[in-house]
Amino acid sequence: MRADFWAENIIHTCLRIRNGESVLVITDQPLHELHAQLTAEVLKLDPAEVWTYTVPDAARPLRDFPQELLDAAARADVVLALHASLNAALEGQRILHLRDALRATGRGRMAGGFYITPDILARELAADYAAIAATTERLAAELEAGGAAHLTAPGGADLTLTLAPRSVHVETGLVHRPGQFGSLPGGLCHVSVTPGAANGVLVIDRALQGALLAEPARLTVEAGCIVAVEGGGAEAGSLLARLRSDDAGAGCALGQVVGLGVGANPEAQLRGNPATDSKALGAVSVTLAQNGFLKYDGWGINARQLVGVIGESTLVVDDQTVVARGACLI
């Protein structure tokens, strides 16, 4: 496989850009050289218009894009935004503003990838996305009806959850339809947990929001709420502190369990990177959120949500084994 196959894969397979479409390509400064490769691939398709923008390091944190760029997004058929870094708390809102500008017209589609590295381009973004999409959709069909889920793992996780029906969010890596928004790299099926319907022990022992954990974090969960936290070391402690609520009347003062994910990308690796950790084939992840922030954003840019990956998980939904010791069976 050519070293630059990722660019062809993104433009022709993931986004399926067509001749005559208008395209906006955005990267940040660390990905500037890769920006040129993406633009060159787009230009092979005889596009109607191409706009490009590089977020300069000197302007970071950039809280919003220039209005001219948002205007271009509103006219575009396709928007591609890849960043090597993103301060979710300070910069996440501008990604949502970009999405909203596109959504207002209903004509365009958008793929966003954050915390992208050259290794991710060469591996996860050069993957077979037709096969990944097929696996993701099979998982979605299994989880769409909701039901009773039981998550266990050798590290000590033993968590029961009720999955909310009709709440599946899929990241296939294929963003082909007008009005569609997707994440790159793809390969994740996420389902919401019914509020208040998670109980037991959750042991996050692989990764938490891009941090590889040397020490497992053990969370006791009652009626969906985190009621006790043990271990995890300083890094996990700092991340989990984001979920705390200062509201004395908050129902879940230490945070809550809001979602469950299953990875579907056979090329994805546990890197200590939120772009890939939960997308490895057979990886089971749990989404945690600050009190009141239930909705999964799909791009991992909500500073009030964390995704934890549990090693060698077994996931059973309504007596159907979906994942066994980290192997996807669907």
Residue pointed to by tokens 């050069």: 126
Question: Which runs of consecutive H residues, i.e. helices, occur in 59-111?
Answer: 67-75, 88-103
Domain range for 104: 5-126
Q: What is the mean pLDDT of residues 317-325?
A: 95
What does the block give as tokens for 287?
């989404």
- Do 21 and 110 sit in the same domain of this protein? yes
pLDDT at 146: 80
Domain count across the chain: 2
Q: Is the pTM of this model over 0.85?
A: yes
Q: Kindly report which listed range (4-8, 22-26, 164-168, 322-326) carries the lowest average pLDDT score.
A: 164-168
pLDDT digits (tens, 9 = 90+) for 165-181: 888 999 999 999 999 99
User: Where is the domain boundary, 101, 126, 151?
Assistant: 126
- Do 187 and 251 sit in the same domain of this protein? yes
Distances (CA, A) of 325 to 64, 187, 189: 43, 19, 18
pLDDT at 184: 97
- Do 173 and 288 sit in the same domain of this protein? yes
pLDDT digits (tens, 9 = 90+) for 231-283: 999 989 999 998 987 765 567 899 999 999 999 999 999 999 999 999 999 99
pLDDT digits (tens, 9 = 90+) for 215-236: 999 999 999 999 999 999 998 9
For residue 106, what pLDDT band results from cuts at 50, 70 and 90?
confident
- Do 206 and 78 sit in the same domain of this protein? no
CATH of the domain at 61: 3.40.1830.10
> What count of other Cβ atoms lies within 10 Å of the Cβ of residue 105?
14
Phi then psi for residue 213, to 5 deg, are -95, 120
